[in-house]
Amino acid sequence: MRGAVIHAPGDVRFEELDDPRIVQPTDAIIRTVVTCVCGSDLWPYRGAEPVGEPHPMGHEYVGVVEEVGAEVTSVRPGQFVIGSFATSDNTCENCRNGYQSNCVRREFMSTCQAEYVRIPNAQGTLVATPEHPAEELLPSLLTLSDVMGTGWYAARAAEVRPGSTALVVGDGAVGLCGVIAARELGAERIIAMSRHEPRQKLALEFGATDLVTERGDEGIARVKELTRGVGVDSALECVGTPEAMRQAVRATRPGGNVGFVGVPHDVTIDGQELFFSHVGLRGGPAPVRDYLPDLIQRVLDGRIDPGKVFDFTLPLDQVAEGYKAMDERRAIKTLLRP
Amino acid sequence: MRGAVIHAPGDVRFEELDDPRIVQPTDAIIRTVVTCVCGSDLWPYRGAEPVGEPHPMGHEYVGVVEEVGAEVTSVRPGQFVIGSFATSDNTCENCRNGYQSNCVRREFMSTCQAEYVRIPNAQGTLVATPEHPAEELLPSLLTLSDVMGTGWYAARAAEVRPGSTALVVGDGAVGLCGVIAARELGAERIIAMSRHEPRQKLALEFGATDLVTERGDEGIARVKELTRGVGVDSALECVGTPEAMRQAVRATRPGGNVGFVGVPHDVTIDGQELFFSHVGLRGGPAPVRDYLPDLIQRVLDGRIDPGKVFDFTLPLDQVAEGYKAMDERRAIKTLLRP
């Protein structure tokens, strides 16, 4: 089969690879239906994380089950399935607590920009749809394996409640999905920080009520202005930089909450500042598996349409161009079709 | 009148001071019935915080109202009252959100180790008891102005729930009150980190089910052992040092919560570690005012007895010895009687 391999920053190639095989009796093999490029794939692509040895890429996937290991009974060959970027047995104590992305058997997916993929912990990771979904739903279903689930967790970690005010820091795919999540969880007011017109437009379409184009201290001041000087109830930090974290914490009211889902890069939090802010903080890789049944239903019902974050589609063999377009901010997110 | 004044690290004196007067129409003057020395008073006493110019000390108090300003109608002269170490109007948006210790009119009390005290924002700060309480209840009522309220907030911020497992880091008065709070909020298992026998004894009396004497990585490992390798649901960080924060975060399970109430000194939190831990974090000066009616009732009903943290009592004029005894760890907490 063929798949994407990163060799060095800026150097992603589509190459012949070994076909994946069942290694553990808990594995499944799926044939990829659609996959995509994630904002977090850009960290190594941009050299902000070491690449090391050449290795496959991709952690977002929907597909059709080809084969299952002896211990996998929850899905069967021929079914259309969606799974999280972090695999889980869905039975350990962390899973039962709703933190499947911290499963004791967790493995992070990393080979999904390919024609076939091996899924470890398939029993607890994959969720099948009732039938093979319509073509037009594929992009939205694909977002559930990461960005929409991650936006959902950001809103949950930030404790968005009916009638509340939410701030979304970051206008990438996760931030935009965070707008959808905040709306679905009942936020009355959703302030999106964005200065890129196509993303602003999508944020408004997804439910944002206010846009803030200022950044840094000016951005914080603008959010405070919009909230009677008090700050927002919930902030969704969907970037992972020190600047984004600072904006989220300082724009949140005393007793409010920040959910942070951008993998932190060089972020440190000053204990005394956090103390006097009274702001609650929770982050992490999203427990997407916990949300899948609910989010699949919302997509099938046509209630949410997160697939709109894909503004660029390519055949899988042009994956390199998909990275390039996102790196140059010509695309919010690239969908790849094998 | 007379009161305590700190002149330099290790140098607290009992001196003649001006009688406090009504300055704002929202003030009240109380005659101190009992006051005390707080663990946080030891930061400047030990030179860990700058002392600056000589200034009065003390932020914990119960007393009898002597005089009220023109706008104070909620309490009247002759009533026995308790108030928070942080004053609040109890009407602003932060107060209504339950964060009175972040009131827009907040003033931190700082002159309470004295015979008389001026209370700013008296209307929203002071709570009167139904009648003048019995002598034996005074120590417990005094703890409500800070340490018991702070332990309560630690447990609330750490989201202690019925049936859960709580860890208390710190065996000072706040930590010991945190044990009481965790028990009252229904924790089934309460692990207290303590290596001082009198404090261990009090922790067990207050409801601790397990004691951990190890510190640092060994302490974390021991807590993990006690919790099936998973960690606690809630950790109450009642110290304020980097080591205590590290223990609290690392001993908490994914999805669990740390409430931190020790004023952080040189504490920074690594964003990436917090991210992958999935631990929620909330701290701050406790919104004691929010809890006062409930906690007063629990004391009057004999349900809680936090006054036991006072293991040393002195006449107010020997306040200097009170600091010394706590600094040398001869006393957990010193009660002072004018």
Fold of B149-283: Rossmann fold (3.40.50)
Question: Is residue B27 a contact partner of residue B118, using CB atoms and an 8 Å limit?
Answer: yes
Q: Cβ contacts of residue B218 below 8 Å, gap of 6+?
A: none
Query: Using a CB-CB distance cutoff of 8 angstroms, which residues of chain B are in contact with residue A93?
Result: 228, 230, 253
Distances (CA, A) of A63 to A82, A120, A338: 7, 14, 11
Domain ranges of chain A: 2-146+287-337, 150-283
pLDDT of residue A309: 97
Distance from CA of B230 to the nearest CA of A (A): 8
- What ipTM does this complex have? 0.96
CA proximity to A56, closest of A111, A11, A17: A111
Q: Are strands B280-283 and B252-260 parallel, antiparallel or unpaired?
A: parallel
Query: Using a CB-CB distance cutoff of 8 angstroms, which residues of chain A are in contact with residue B278?
Result: 99, 101-102, 282-284
Q: Are strands B80-83 and B61-68 parallel, antiparallel or unpaired?
A: antiparallel
Distance from CA of A99 to the nearest CA of B (A): 6
pLDDT of residue A338: 96
Under an 8 A CB cutoff, do A228 and B102 touch?
no
Residue A238 is classified by DSSP as -
Q: Which residues of A touch B (CB under 8 A)?
A: 93-94, 97-99, 101-102, 157, 228, 230, 242, 245, 253-255, 260, 263-272, 274-285
Query: Using a CB-CB distance cutoff of 8 angstroms, which residues of chain A are in contact with residue B239?
Result: none
CATH code at A150-283: 3.40.50.720
- Secondary structure of residue A96 in the 3-state scheme: helix
The structure tokens listed for B208 are 């601790």
Q: Which residue of B has its CA nearest to A279?
A: B282
What does the pLDDT look like over A306-323, one tens digit per residue?
A: 999 999 999 999 999 999
Low-confidence ranges of chain B (pLDDT < 50): none
Question: Is residue B120 a contact partner of residue A276, using CB atoms and an 8 Å limit?
Answer: no
Query: Using a CB-CB distance cutoff of 8 angstroms, which residues of chain A are in contact with residue B265?
Result: 272
* H-run or E-run covering B45: helix B42-45
Task: Write out chain A's pLDDT in tens, 338 residues.
Answer: 999 999 999 999 999 999 999 999 999 999 999 999 999 999 999 998 899 999 999 999 999 999 999 999 999 999 999 999 999 999 999 999 999 999 999 999 999 999 999 999 999 999 999 999 999 999 999 999 999 999 999 999 999 999 999 999 999 999 999 999 999 999 999 999 999 999 999 999 999 999 999 999 999 999 999 999 999 999 999 999 999 999 999 999 999 999 999 999 999 999 999 999 999 999 999 999 999 999 999 999 999 999 999 999 999 999 999 999 999 999 999 999 99
Q: Which CATH architecture has domain B2-146+287-337?
A: Alpha-Beta Complex (3.90)
Query: Using a CB-CB distance cutoff of 8 angstroms, which residues of chain B are in contact with residue A232?
Result: none
Distance from CA of A243 to the nearest CA of B (A): 12
First to last CA, chain B: 11
- The alpha carbon of A4 is separated from its chain's Cα centroid by a whole number of angstroms, namely 20
Q: At what angle do helices A173-184 and A197-206 cross, to 10 degrees?
A: 20
Mean of per-residue pLDDT scores for chain B = 97
CA proximity to B37, closest of B7, B1, B6, B74: B6
